[in-house]
Structure 1
Amino acid sequence: MLVIAITGGIASGKTEVTKTIQRAGYPVVDADVLARQVLEPGTHTLEQVKERFGQSIIKNGVLDRHALGERVFSNPTLLKSLTALTAPEIRSRIQEQLSFFRMKGKTVVFCAIPLFFEQHYEDTGWFDQVVVVATNERQQLDRLMARDHLDEWAAQSRIKAQMPVAKKVAKADVVIENDGSAEELQQKVVDYLNRLKEE
């Protein structure tokens, strides 16, 4: 089974890329979806996060992602301690899903992992190829501010919490540049999938 990682900076267009891949019929393991699942009410991870960050990050029994984000993205130490609680759970769920697709006899599976390099997934030996979705810094900042309703400072602090896109591009096997329209991005993904079939 060929396992391909998709990563890139925050607000670079990874979601659009994975949607296009799913529409083409390929299974996608999405680390963002798994990250939400491990912090659902009643989970052992949410209890740990609540102990570490206090009751103020919980509203009506549910994690207030905005409140937690405001605290951790401006404080590298807090971000590190949140990651230490959630990352092992997410990693274990990715492994479970990959085993499931292997058992189902899938030939190609994609994994969308925003923090692929930051969490050292390249050292796991699970992946045959790494695709980085890249965009220029100004577009990334504008998209993030619009998408998450953030001011420039808050958006910058989220971008700075990740590895610079140029470093990710240098480590990639395939780079998909997202500096045009949504249609252009879709076409680039389709072209990539066609090349993959040929190979």
Structure 2
Amino acid sequence: MLVIGLIGGIASGKSAVAKELSVLGATVLDADAAAHRVINRSSVRSALVDRWGASILDEVGQVDRRAVAKRVFSADLGRSELKFLEGLLHPLIRQEFETEIASLSQTPTPAVVIDAPLLLEAGWGELCDVLLFVDSPLADRQSRAENLRNWSPNELATREAVQLPIEEKRHQATHFVSNEGSLESLTAQVRQFWQQLPQT
């Protein structure tokens, strides 16, 4: 069973690639979904409240991810708060991924896709056999970030500043697709990539 890691800039189209790989037969492990699960584990929630106070909780006592994002991407606080959060979440997410990969390896699943914004930064690249880079021009990514996430270009730049430079991600990739044209073009490239994999 092949493990495929998706890398690229924010709003490059990694989720669209993951969706197509799922259609083709891969199982997708979504780091954002895993983060949603682990951030409300009692131990994590308690650690966050100890650090930042109960104002990060919503009306039902769950962690408000938007309140957390304001803290970890604040220019005033630097990167220390983000590092604190990642130190809590990343080991738990990795543990989930390793458990799921081990379980899926006992099934006919041909491939697993790890869709994680900080895949390389978290050290999860070592779990992958293949690193697929989704390339997309900055203007296109800014447009997607604005339309889909309501982010300004400055917000995108702030979020991206805490990630590895895009050129470094590109350098570490083993395979590439370009999300510069139509969805049909991207889909065709993903299918070609899939067909070239040795174990699918």
TM-score when scaled to structure 1?
0.90
Distance in 1, Cα, partners of 2:12 & 2:45: 28
**Which residue matches 1:99?**
102
Distance in 2, Cα, partners of 1:119 & 1:111: 12
Query: What secondary structure, in the 3-state scheme, does the structure 2 residue paired with 1:161 have?
Result: coil
Matches within 5 A, 1:141-160: 141-160=142-161
User: Is the contact made by 2:14 and 2:115 (CA closer than 8 Å) also made in structure 1?
Assistant: yes
Letter of the structure 2 residue corresponding to residue 90 of structure 1: I
Shift of 1:198: 8.2
Deviations 1:27-59 (A, max 9, x none): 11121211111123x532222222222211111
Query: What secondary structure, in the 3-state scheme, does the structure 2 residue paired with 1:106 have?
Result: coil
Query: What secondary structure, in the 3-state scheme, does the structure 2 residue paired with 1:62 have?
Result: coil
Shift of 1:105: 4.2
**Which residue matches 2:11?**
11
Matches within 5 A, 1:154-193: 154-193=155-194
Letter of the structure 1 residue corresponding to residue 172 of structure 2: K
**Which residue matches 2:29?**
29
Distance in 2, Cα, partners of 1:49 & 1:182: 40
**Which residue matches 1:59?**
58
Distance in 2, Cα, partners of 1:106 & 1:184: 26
> How many residues of Structure 1 are paired with residues of Structure 2 in the alignment?
196
User: Is the contact made by 1:3 and 1:129 (CA closer than 8 Å) also made in structure 2?
Assistant: yes
Letter of the structure 2 residue corresponding to residue 34 of structure 1: A
**Aligned in 2, Cα 1:50/1:189: closer, same or farther, shift over 3 Å?**
same
User: Is the contact made by 2:8 and 2:166 (CA closer than 8 Å) also made in structure 1?
Assistant: yes
1:87 is the counterpart of 2:74: no
Query: What secondary structure, in the 3-state scheme, does the structure 2 residue paired with 1:3 have?
Result: strand
Distance in 1, Cα, partners of 2:68 & 2:29: 24
User: Is the contact made by 2:25 and 2:110 (CA closer than 8 Å) also made in structure 1?
Assistant: no
Moved more, 48-57 or 171-180: 48-57
- Give runs of ≥4 in structure 1 deviating > 6 Å: none
Matches within 5 A, 1:113-124: 113-122=116-125, 124=126
TM-score when scaled to structure 2?
0.89
User: Is the contact made by 1:28 and 1:109 (CA closer than 8 Å) also made in structure 2?
Assistant: yes
Matches within 5 A, 1:41-52: 42-52=41-51
Distance in 2, Cα, partners of 1:46 & 1:8: 30
User: Is the contact made by 1:134 and 1:165 (CA closer than 8 Å) also made in structure 2?
Assistant: no
Distance in 1, Cα, partners of 2:151 & 2:171: 29
**Which residue matches 2:73?**
73
Shift of 1:12: 0.9
**Aligned in 2, Cα 1:109/1:198: closer, same or farther, shift over 3 Å?**
closer
User: Is the contact made by 1:10 and 1:114 (CA closer than 8 Å) also made in structure 2?
Assistant: yes
- Structure 2 unaligned regions, length at least 5: none
Shift of 1:197: 5.6
Shift of 1:70: 1.8
Deviations 1:110-169 (A, max 9, x none): 2212211111223x4x32111111212222222112221123322221121211212101
